[in-house]
Amino acid sequence: MDTLKENRFLKDITNLKKSIKKGNVRLKEKVGRRIGRIMERYPTVAKYYDITLVLDKSQKAVTIKTTKKKTRDDRKILTGCYVIETTHKDMDPEEILKSYTMLTRAEKAFQSLKTDLGIRPVYHQKAERTRGHLFISVLAYHLLNSIEVNLKDKGCTKKWSTIRRQLSTHMRTTVIMIDRKGGIHHIRVSSTPESSHQEIYNLLDIKDPLKRIHLKL
């Protein structure tokens, strides 16, 4: 991504040079504004270049000189790399990385609780209802985490957001019927799972997601 931005930055500078050479734009003020817009468009790259506008005796633009700073080459060495800093000098690199990944998992857990599992907002006004709301949310997270761990143990690295999106198209329907004697029947049936659904069910050892439930009232 960093290289792509740099190539686009240099391409825009080259196009501006061509416009100056053709005489399409030569006024110092106009060229300066166009240079400013290019630098605003690519701020993370432009700061590593010195751009000099060359003028003739009449103070009109002749060309543009771009000089790459030495810090740009130094920056490329670390581009795409992550640096983890810690005060625990007694820890080896593997322990530091493990602790960091545990932190990211904790952050994702709170994110899941706040979004997917609806731990907030809490609309309850009574303490016991609030505790029940929090209990259900935390219980749901344990179930979510168990699903991810079971899938990971079987070589599947899908996250809960992906699983939820894929399974959202597999529907469960309740059919309500009244018999001749006035009895009400509720029959719960599932749609036929697609291959992506069945793959997840197989990994989680869900034997019969199509099982029909018949309730008579």
Q: What is the pLDDT of residues 160-203, one digit of tens each?
A: 788 888 988 988 888 899 988 888 998 888 888 889 898 998 99
User: When comparing pLDDT for 74 and 164, which is higher?
Assistant: 164
d(CA 167, CA 158): 12
What's the pLDDT score for residue 148?
Answer: 84
**Residue 111 is which amino acid?**
Q
Would you tell me how many other CB atoms lie within 10 Å of the CB of residue 20? Answer: 21
State the average pLDDT over residues 23-42. Answer: 90
Burial 157-190 (b: 16+ CB within 10 A, else e): ebebeebeeebeebeeeeeeeeeeeeeeeeeeeb
Position 2 pLDDT exceeds 80: no
In the predicted structure, residue 209 carries a pLDDT above the cut 70: no
The string of pLDDT tens digits covering residues 75-132 is 766 666 777 788 888 888 888 888 887 777 777 777 777 776 777 788 888 899 988 8
Q: Domain segments of the chain: what residues?
A: 2-78, 105-165, 169-216
Rounded to whole angstroms, the Cα distance separating 127 from 132 reads 9
Given a cut of 80, whether residue 9 has pLDDT beyond it is: yes
- 189: part of which helix (H) or strand (E)? strand 184-190
What does the pLDDT read at residue 78? 66
The CA-atom distances, in angstroms, between 186 and each of 48, 174, 180, 183, 190 are 69, 6, 15, 10, 13
What is the C-alpha separation between 114 and 120, in angstroms, rounded? Answer: 6
> 168 is written with which tokens?
């959202």
Decide the pairing of beta strands 213-216 and 184-190: antiparallel
The total number of residues shown for the chain amounts to 217
66 or 105, higher pLDDT? 66
Does 11 score more than 90 pLDDT? yes
Does residue 210 have a pLDDT over 70? no
What does the alpha-carbon distance between residue 134 and residue 130 come to, in Å, rounded to a whole number? 6
Against a cut of 0.75, is the pTM above it?
A: no
